[in-house]
Structure 1
Amino acid sequence: MSDTALGKDRRFPFGLTIATLIAFAILIGLGAWQIKRLAWKQDLLARIEVLKTAPAQPLATALANAQGRDLTWTRVSVDCAPAQPATLPLVYGIRDGDIVWRATALCRATVGGYGAVLLDLGVVKALTGQSAPAPVALAAPARAVGVLMAPRQLGGDREATVQKFAAERPAPYILMVETATPVPPGVTPAPLPAEISNRHLEYALTWFGLAVTLLFIYAAMLWRKMRS
């Protein structure tokens, strides 16, 4: 090998170094994001644990005293005006590995400056596993107790469903019903997720581990290149 070729072969690999640094920064960023998610998930699980024994407060009181606070996972109760059964959107979901459809009802009640609140009554048992369910007509119960969830956190078309009832001035939360009086026929309350995984620490360690591995591979390649 000529001296010129040898000199070119021993040049510092700037391109490889830049690519490695970019990949390293991305991996570290992903790990740091998972650490933030871990803190969020631990706070969420702690709130759910407290929720299990928290007394229900009137929905009107909770909304009036919110003062900008997020009321997600707050347990409340609400009394609904008498209403006739109506067909409202069914919401698709997965629970215990099966396709389920959740029933919605509109509870008309003057609460915190709003005129109504949407109730998630729970899973319609007869529709479990169906890909194209038949419409279901249900009336809002006279009284419901459950936990508040923001539509955006529930996903799917929840926010669009709330917008359909804009004329009713609905509250900006959906009440995930735990108990209803009277009990809606054929509906099983399911206010909380069947299982909430918390593997963010595992994911963070994986990303950090990949970042360290990348550095070792880069160092080995650089050492071999400079020696050859």
Structure 2
Amino acid sequence: MSEILPKFDFTERRRFPIGLTVAVAIAFGILCFLGVWQMKRMAWKEDLLARIEALKTAPAVPIGPVLADAAKGSNVAWTRVEVACRPASLPPLSLAYGIRDGDMVWRAQALCGVESGPYDLILVDRGVVTELTGQVEAPARAFAEPGQVTGVLIPLAQLGGDRAKAVAGLAGRKPAPLALMVERETPAPSGVAPAPLPAEITNRHLEYALTWFGLAVTLLFIYAAMLWRRLRP
């Protein structure tokens, strides 16, 4: 009877799982990377929230020196500035799509000529066209060019979409890599409600980071248990 039973090689069971180890190491590295990235995002978000909190009482300053600092590499995001826009002498910009309070909105935007400094143009986000809220498509709308504007600066890269494309490729012009989010405008365009700040800014990055790190530790425990079961006598 013993002669017909297959023989089992126990050395196969005890062989070190190289492929599994490599896969676990890669997954562990990815999870740790995501955790560290979320910690960096948390630091960025805390700085952002601190800037917005300070913005509540900050006076508006002339835009020229602020843009000069931006050209030198300074972080001027969320600085409250004021500017008397010169005519840009360029075609008007189309409305920009956005989401606010869960609704689809269309934001009026224009180009503001800057009198002095390293840049001669800046994109002005004038606010939400109230009657177009919730519409999937927006008709062409024309507004007068901006005049006296007070608002906060935001890097174009943070706005996403086609904002940067709106000022790219303007021959002979030097547009700022920032957008001026209008708080107050004189004269104010009819039917446009200024909306310079996000409706809600959450900071759950610590929670996300702990989740990724927790998954990494869990993966190590599972791998250790599998390895112990595989290599035990």
Q: What's the TM-score, normalizing by structure 2?
A: 0.89
2:97 counterpart of 1:92 = yes
User: Higher strand fraction: Structure 1 or Structure 2?
Assistant: 1
Question: How far 1:111 sits from its partner (Å)?
Answer: 3.0
- Structural mapping, 1:2-13, within 5 Å: 5-13=9-17
1:156-190 CA distance string (max 9 Å, x none)? 00111012544443333211000011111100101
1:178·1:191 contact (CA, 8 Å) conserved in 2?
Answer: yes
Higher mean Cα deviation, 64-73 or 4-13? Answer: 64-73
- Structural mapping, 1:172-187, within 5 Å: 172-187=177-192
Question: How far 1:83 sits from its partner (Å)?
Answer: 8.1
1:125-165 CA distance string (max 9 Å, x none)? 01111111001101123200001112111100011101254
2:167 partner SS:
helix
1:34·1:200 contact (CA, 8 Å) conserved in 2?
Answer: yes
Which residue number in structure 2 is paired with residue 101 of structure 1?
A: 106
2:152 counterpart of 1:125 = no
Ranges in structure 1 where 5+ consecutive residues have no aligned partner: none
* 2:62 corresponds to which of 50, 53, 58: 58
Higher mean Cα deviation, 7-16 or 57-66? Answer: 57-66
Work out the number of aligned pairs and report it. Answer: 228
- Structural mapping, 1:23-102, within 5 Å: 23-66=27-70, 67-81=72-86, 87-102=92-107
Provide the identity percentage.
Answer: 60
Ranges in structure 2 where 5+ consecutive residues have no aligned partner: none
Q: What's the TM-score, normalizing by structure 1?
A: 0.91
Structure 2 CA distance for aligned equivalents of residues 129 and 136 of structure 1: 16
1:55 partner SS:
coil
Structure 2 CA distance for aligned equivalents of residues 170 and 114 of structure 1: 6
Question: How far 1:112 sits from its partner (Å)?
Answer: 1.1
Change (3 A) 1:41 1:188: same
